[in-house]
Amino acid sequence: MNKITYFLTVIAVAGSLMTKAQQSKPILRVGLIADIQYADIESRGTRYYRNSLSKLRNCVDELNKQKVQFSLNLGDIIDRNPKDLDSVLPILKRLKKPIYTTTGNHDYHGVTENEFLYKKLGMPAEYYSFTKKGWLFIMMNTNEVASYANITGTWKEQELRKMVDSIKVAKGVNAEEYNGGVSSRQLIWVDSLLAKAQSEGTNVFIFSHHPLDFSRGFTALNSANILQVISKYNCVKALFAGHHHSGDFGYHSTIPCITLEGMVETSDQNAYGILEIYPNGFEVKGVGRTKSHKF
């Protein structure tokens, strides 16, 4: 091998190693939290409400140590009293990077003005989206149309009635008072976002409190309608949810549906995760009860 050939071979090998190193480094690292469900009350069954504060402190410390670029909270921050937010939110504020939140059904207990809740949680709107490093993150609100979400006397009340009637006709099992759905307006908004993302070649993750598939009995009231819209677009790479504390996983067509385990469960075992996004895939690194997934 002459010197020129040797030199070119060394450059090629170095370039290959560099490419592999670049591929092994995530584009984004994102904290994932669901169902803290803190309350200053005695434990009940497998739910240790007071213990959530110490678990959350450990979670926040670790997410800071792991240098996540931001975190996502999928709802049920508290169990039943809005005043308990004053115990939870200061801990979340210790995160060194931003946190984006959607509500859970328990977060509405004792709330008479939804806008108060959204403002308290730092949400820019009832449902919203944002872009990071070329990825679109859609924060759906599956509590928008629900018996507990202060919709009495509004146009959403009629939509709730239609959802429940539709479930009964289909002999479904998710017409429960702790489940909610998205309005026709929110669904149009999601459709529009996905159409734009598809045309621009943008990858999408969708987050909600209620699962959209699997987790039987815990899915959003109009999950079938939501999935009908989402399934039109191959830009959607995964659906993330909370609500069902034991967690769940499955594929809707080719889309992974990941239900995160709830932090409130068990006396001492934590539950949260880190989503790592790579140029050619992504994975969830679970901590404690939260399962890991790689795609």
Residue 179 to residue 271: CA distance in whole angstroms: 22
What confidence category does residue 256 fall into, taking pLDDT thresholds of 50, 70 and 90? very high
Give pLDDT tens digits for 211-244.
999 999 999 999 999 999 999 999 999 999 999 9
Mean pLDDT, range 188-199, rounded to an integer: 98
Domains and CATH numbers, the chain: 27-294 (3.60.21.10)
Q: Which helix (H) or strand (E) holds 162?
A: helix 155-169
pTM: 0.92
What confidence category does residue 22 fall into, taking pLDDT thresholds of 50, 70 and 90? very low
pLDDT computed for residue 15 by the predictor = 41
Burial of 122 (0-12, 13-18, 19+ CB in 10 A): middle
What confidence category does residue 23 fall into, taking pLDDT thresholds of 50, 70 and 90? low
pLDDT computed for residue 123 by the predictor = 98
What confidence category does residue 2 fall into, taking pLDDT thresholds of 50, 70 and 90? low
Mean pLDDT, range 12-22, rounded to an integer: 39
* 212, 236 Cβ separation under 8 angstroms: no
Residue 47 to residue 283: CA distance in whole angstroms: 28
pLDDT computed for residue 85 by the predictor = 98
* 51, 39 Cβ separation under 8 angstroms: no
pLDDT computed for residue 277 by the predictor = 98
The DSSP secondary structure of 79-141, one letter per residue, reads: SS-GGGHHHHHHHHTT-SS-EEE---GGGGTT-S-HHHHHHHTT-SSSSEEEEETTEEEEE--
Give pLDDT tens digits for 48-103.
999 999 999 999 999 999 999 999 999 999 999 999 999 999 999 999 999 999 99
pLDDT computed for residue 122 by the predictor = 98
Question: Per residue in 76-107, is it b (16+ CB within 10 Å) or e — as a string?
Answer: bbbbbbbebbebbbebbeebeeebbbbbbbbb
Mean pLDDT, range 95-121, rounded to an integer: 98
Burial of 127 (0-12, 13-18, 19+ CB in 10 A): buried
pLDDT computed for residue 14 by the predictor = 38
pLDDT computed for residue 24 by the predictor = 83
Give pLDDT tens digits for 163-177.
999 999 999 999 999
Mean pLDDT of all residues belonging to the chain: 93
pLDDT computed for residue 107 by the predictor = 98
The DSSP secondary structure of 36-64, one letter per residue, reads: --B-SS--BTTB-TTTHHHHHHHHHHHHH
Residue 69 to residue 91: CA distance in whole angstroms: 17
Length of the chain: 295
pLDDT computed for residue 111 by the predictor = 97
* 236, 269 Cβ separation under 8 angstroms: no
